[in-house]
Structure 1
Amino acid sequence: MIVAAIDRRERLEKIVTFAAEEAKMRGVKLHIIHSMHGGSRTSREEVEQAEDMLGEAERLAEKIGAEVETHLLMRGNDPAKDILLFCDEVKAELLVIGVRKRSPAGKLLFGSTAQQVILEAEIPVVCIK
């Protein structure tokens, strides 16, 4: 299994394309996930936008020929914890995430989702810029 975690539309195509091609080549299922806190902290509009983004990702992966499932995670966890837990749950062999350019000072700070995932993941992580 391969897991692709998406958070924004601007990196969606690159993340999903890489993950779908890799899943197709390996002959494994691709799980595309998006994590939100959920509950009263999340508006219906935010949920609809996330569902639309996952639908777009699913269509792209299917067009590439990958077997795909999408998941909107709203379990009250921070995104990094959700991503890592999901990878464990599906016994993922590879995780694909997006990273963004950070300032030199920003690189010293801990706390970004991608950084936490990279440091704590027990499987290989591919970072897409």
Structure 2
Amino acid sequence: MPVVAAVDQSERAQSVIRAARRLADDAAVSLHVVHVGEVGVPNPEGGYDADHERSLSTQKATQMARRIADDVDGVEEFDPVGLTGNTAEELIEYSTAQDADYIVVSARKRSPFGQAVFGSVTQALLLNADRPVVAVPSDHE
């Protein structure tokens, strides 16, 4: 039953990882740092293998999760996890499969218009996850 820290490549990820680390330490559980990437675009000239592209995207996302967490001081123990697909859906599916205690995400400030136009992974998680979602304000906003 880990704590899942959902991270992107922004500076907000550091706040998410620090908060998730504290929750994991308090509960004496592992920390999973999760980055969700996108599957590559098919090559119009052929040679596209969907399974291979998904595998490459997952590897890249795992490497990104490791790189992001490695940049946070005081976080030595974590499991980097790479997923591909729709960010909110993948995070919910992974957190359910792992029986995560929490999903920790960044609370990004957006205008109501920005929320309506761009949507929000945090909002989708808050509305659809079957476990606690912790929205962490950024140190950089």
- TM-score above 0.5, yes or no: yes
- Matched ranges for 1:29-68 at <5 A: 29-40=30-41, 51-58=63-70, 60=72, 63-64=74-75, 67-68=77-78
In the TM superposition, residue 51 of structure 1 has moved relative to its aligned partner by 2.3
Choose the corresponding residue for 2:106, options 98, 107, 113: 98
- Structure number, greater radius of gyration: 2
Contact 2:35 2:81 in 1 (8 A): yes
Q: Secondary structure at the match of 1:60?
A: coil
| Cα distance in 1, alignment partners of residues 81 and 65 from structure 2 | 11
Partner of 1:69: 79
Q: What is the percentage of aligned positions where both structures have the same residue?
A: 28
Q: Secondary structure at the match of 1:5?
A: strand
Partner of 2:46: none
- CA deviations 1:50-89 (Å, max 9, x no partner) are 724532314637x346x41011112xx2111000000011
- Matched ranges for 1:75-114 at <5 A: 77-108=85-116, 111-114=119-122
Runs of 5+ unmatched residues, structure 2:
43-52
Task: Give TM-score scaled by structure 2 length.
Answer: 0.73
* Alignment root-mean-square deviation, CA: 2.7
Q: Which amino acid aligns with 1:93?
A: D
Q: Which amino acid aligns with 2:67?
A: G
Task: Give TM-score scaled by structure 1 length.
Answer: 0.79
